[in-house]
Structure 1
């Protein structure tokens, strides 16, 4: 075990995420928008054709609970509205006129955001998005809990991770 007090993976990911969101939110204010960064995955999924919480969840890689909560905030803020689907079991999510106007204002901001990400990746010399996508796929194959259990089991039995 390392004697250093180094930040863990989750801590570093949250820190980077906060830095990115703070920078984005500063620009939303400069654009005169009362906008929450958490709306972005939902709006981008809707723009790409998603119509339900399930479809937005699949496109965004976020939990259904997080998406449902965000959709509730967006509905309260007048960005979206829900309409019962034909079968009555699912709600279809649609942009309000204000939501469509907001999306139009955000398109150029998002294009600049992706350009800024590319510059960041170039500066650090790592394809950060690809690394995160690869990490997500690896954790989908074998979850972090499984990985921890395996290591703890090996430590308890005295086995090496090289075995």
Structure 2
């Protein structure tokens, strides 16, 4: 197969991500939750002790912009509260009572989700999370644009 017929890396990553999110969304609906999958990394970080956007960014692989957008949605949904700290440039973020109740419902689901990931990894014969973490670290060392430029220069 030539490059015109092969799916690109970004295309495959987006497709796999869509399949995972669709499956997760089915289970959120089955749990009678009005819930967005994008909340998960932020709620998990807050549940693990993160208190600021910076803390959440450090605990996840998401950008500060994505975290800030998700925080705004969580705030609008009444799942978190924000309080100014220090000189007012940062906010301390914490789960509301509604947010804590939701996290309590989701913790078992998250444990089952990680078991499903392990099952997928066993089926495909690759430690998918480990491979993706290694790919992310390699791209942090040398970005994809630099890699393309290096190959073009050959």
Q: Residue in 2 aligned with 1:7? A: 7
Over the aligned positions, Cα root-mean-square deviation in angstroms equals 1.2
Change (3 A) 1:142 1:69: same
- Secondary structure (helix, strand or coil) at the match of 1:37 reads coil
Comparing both chains, which one has the higher relative contact order based on Cα–Cα distances under 8 Å and sequence gaps of 6 or more? 2
Aligned residues: 154
In structure 2, C-alpha distance between the alignment counterparts of 1:87 and 1:4, rounded to whole Å = 54
- Secondary structure (helix, strand or coil) at the match of 1:93 reads strand
In structure 1, C-alpha distance between the alignment counterparts of 2:48 and 2:146, rounded to whole Å = 34
In structure 1, C-alpha distance between the alignment counterparts of 2:119 and 2:145, rounded to whole Å = 34
Query: What's the offset of the Cα at 1:88?
Result: 2.1
Q: Which runs of 5+ in 1 are unaligned?
A: 155-163
In structure 2, C-alpha distance between the alignment counterparts of 1:49 and 1:61, rounded to whole Å = 16
Q: Residue in 2 aligned with 1:48? A: 48
The C-alpha deviation readout for 1:86-112, integer Å capped at 9, x for no partner, is 332210111111100000000000000
Q: Which runs of 5+ in 2 are unaligned?
A: none
| TM-score of the aligned structures, taking structure 2 as reference length | 0.97
In structure 1, C-alpha distance between the alignment counterparts of 2:25 and 2:139, rounded to whole Å = 30
In structure 2, C-alpha distance between the alignment counterparts of 1:120 and 1:81, rounded to whole Å = 36
Change (3 A) 1:87 1:10: same
Query: Which structure has the greater CA radius of gyration?
Result: 1
| TM-score of the aligned structures, taking structure 1 as reference length | 0.91
Q: Residue in 1 aligned with 2:36? A: 36
